[in-house]
């Protein structure tokens, strides 16, 4: 038991560190632009960053799908399939990034048709977009490498790559903005250079740590029809799940903006509590991906059950910590994000929802990782689609009576329904797969 606890923490802690570097870099970028002589540069980074968030969130399936398949192949000691999975993932990454570069002009025009910004902000955001789009091959390929490393039970290498990329990004940004006197375009070039440095580092670590697997590269295995079908079927379901998640967050923000600017500011700040919590819990979810896939690949039902139990134990403890932190330190944390007394006071009315979220949400986050490790993507897709229907129903049914509280209730229900659904189907979708059930195969 102690050994498995150490294994969970070995996989979890590096992933938490990797996750935290992402929002910190965004804060630094906005701070850099905030110290220039024109506020339009902040808007340009915000709008340009939003476009790439949508694009790259859409390719998030590549990291998640790759980790589950790789972990299962690792558990089976199937070296040819381990190498084939990375090859398939990189092929998809490079094909997708080439399409993004080829269609960058219509993507730009569509994005700024959907997003309403001032002409000057859109001008700088468009410049930012046309520079940063060239980072797509590196960024999306890094998703493939990250998922593969996690599947190989290696969380340390993705952490080193993520931290290095973000530190280099910061240094490049400082160089271009303060030394070469560039603006938002300097931040874009900083991102491009940092991403390619990250890709070079990923290739270096692969060659150093896993170079022996190159001898198992087999084109016939790589393009094996059933394996390719399973790879795309799972990734299709994860892609749909991601789109539903993007829609939910966008709907929440849009409806907040429809009330008034104060409610928008309040909800945006309080939503950071959920996002920050998710970065911590996703570290355990990533451990769940690696361990569940490995034990399923090895056919070890006892090991799978034990790892799931311990991951839930650790995540439950983290959730209680965040409940206490939000309950007793919520006002102080809000004060760090804004010094506007009106927004701080208005936020306190909705703080109880934020206090409840860790307890309500942690099961959904943990099960996400375990289902991904099991490549049981159908239920991931179904859970979020059902949760989305519940979210919309609760919002519209409570809008007149509860106003913004109704929006938060809808969000809490969205998170809870996902956790309940995945808990109910866990035996059928994950554990029975190791018992040889013909009606509950991993790939449906």
Nearest alpha carbon to residue 120 among 177, 38, 190, 26: 38
- Residue 319: the pLDDT is 93
204-244, pLDDT tens digit by residue? 999 999 989 888 888 777 777 777 787 778 878 888 888 88
Percent of the chain with pLDDT over 90: 30
Q: Which residue has the higher pLDDT, 147 or 61?
A: 147
Q: Are 270 and 354 in contact (CB under 8 A)?
A: yes
pLDDT band of 438, cuts 50, 70, 90: very low
- Highest mean pLDDT among 26-35, 288-297, 320-329, 424-433 belongs to 320-329
9-33, pLDDT tens digit by residue? 888 888 788 777 665 655 565 556 5
Mean pLDDT of 387-405: 91
Q: Which residue has the higher pLDDT, 169 or 113?
A: 169
- Highest mean pLDDT among 61-65, 360-364, 399-403 belongs to 360-364
Helix (H/G/I), strand (E/B), else coil: 103: coil
> What does the block give as tokens for 369?
């990782």
Angle at 443 between CA 438 and CA 444, to 5 degrees: 70
- Residue 334: the pLDDT is 81
Q: Which of the residue ranges 273-277, 335-339, 351-355, 432-436 would you say has the lowest mean pLDDT?
A: 432-436
- Residue 118: the pLDDT is 65
In this predicted structure, the answer to whether residue 436 has a pLDDT above a threshold of 60 is: no
Dist CA 137 CA 93 (whole Å)? 7
* Chain Cα centroid distance, residue 125: 23
- Residue 46: the pLDDT is 62
Give this prediction's pTM: 0.80
In this predicted structure, the answer to whether residue 117 has a pLDDT above a threshold of 50 is: yes
- Residue 434: the pLDDT is 64
Residue 86 CB-density burial (10 A; 0-12 exposed, 13-18 middle, 19+ buried):
buried
Dist CA 76 CA 299 (whole Å)? 8
In terms of phi and psi (left: phi > 0; alpha: psi -120 to 50; beta: otherwise), the region of 299 is: left
Dist CA 370 CA 383 (whole Å)? 14
Dist CA 106 CA 126 (whole Å)? 12
- Residue 440: the pLDDT is 39
- Residue 203: the pLDDT is 96
Instruction: Work out the mean pLDDT of the chain and round it to a whole number.
Output: 83
> What does the block give as tokens for 229?
């079908």
Q: Which of the residue ranges 182-191, 314-323, 365-374 would you say has the lowest mean pLDDT?
A: 182-191
């Amino acid at each position: 038991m102690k050994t498995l606890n150490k294994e969970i923490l070995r996989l979890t802690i590096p992933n938490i560190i990797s996750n935290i570097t992402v929002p910190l870099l965004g804060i630094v970028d906005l701070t850099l632009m905030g110290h220039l002589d024109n506020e339009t540069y902040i808007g340009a980074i915000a709008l340009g960053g939003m476009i790439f968030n949508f694009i790259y969130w859409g390719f998030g399936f590549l990291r998640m799908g790759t980790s589950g398949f790789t972990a299962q192949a690792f558990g089976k000691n199937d070296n040819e399939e381990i190498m084939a999975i990375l090859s398939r993932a990189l092929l998809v990454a490079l094909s997708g990034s080439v399409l993004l570069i080829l269609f960058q002009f219509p993507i730009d025009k569509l994005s700024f048709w959907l997003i309403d910004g001032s002409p000057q902000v859109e001008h700088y955001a468009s410049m930012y977009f046309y520079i940063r789009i060239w980072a797509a091959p590196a960024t999306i390929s890094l998703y493939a490498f990250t998922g593969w490393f996690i599947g190989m039970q290696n969380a340390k290498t993705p952490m080193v790559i993520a931290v290095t990329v973000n530190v280099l990004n910061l240094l490049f940004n400082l160089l271009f903005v303060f030394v070469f006197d560039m603006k938002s375009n300097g931040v874009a070039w900083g991102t491009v250079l940092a991403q390619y440095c990250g890709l070079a580092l990923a290739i270096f670590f692969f060659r150093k740590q896993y170079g022996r697997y190159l001898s198992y590269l087999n084109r016939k295995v790589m393009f094996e029809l059933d394996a390719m079908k399973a790879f795309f079927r799972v990734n299709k379901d994860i892609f749909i799940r991601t789109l539903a998640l993007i829609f939910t967050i966008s709907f929440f923000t849009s409806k907040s903006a429809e009330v008034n600017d104060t409610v928008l500011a309040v909800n945006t700040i309080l939503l950071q509590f959920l996002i920050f919590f998710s970065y911590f819990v996703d570290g355990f979810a990533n451990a769940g991906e690696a361990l569940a896939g490995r034990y399923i690949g090895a056919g070890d039902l006892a090991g799978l059950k034990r790892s799931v139990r311990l991951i839930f134990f650790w995540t439950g403890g983290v959730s209680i910590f965040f409940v206490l932190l939000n309950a007793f330190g919520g006002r102080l944390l809000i004060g760090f994000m804004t010094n506007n007394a009106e927004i701080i006071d208005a936020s306190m009315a909705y703080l109880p929802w934020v206090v409840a979220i860790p307890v309500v949400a942690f099961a959904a986050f943990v099960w996400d990782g375990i289902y991904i490790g099991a490549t049981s993507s159908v239920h991931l897709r179904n859970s979020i689609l059902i949760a989305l229907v519940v979210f919309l129903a609760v919002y519209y049914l409570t809008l007149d009576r509860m106003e913004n509280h109704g929006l938060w209730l809808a969000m809490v229900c969205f998170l809870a329904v996902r956790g309940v659904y995945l808990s109910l189907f866990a035996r059928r979708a994950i554990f029975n797969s190791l018992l040889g059930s013909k009606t509950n195969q991993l790939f449906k």
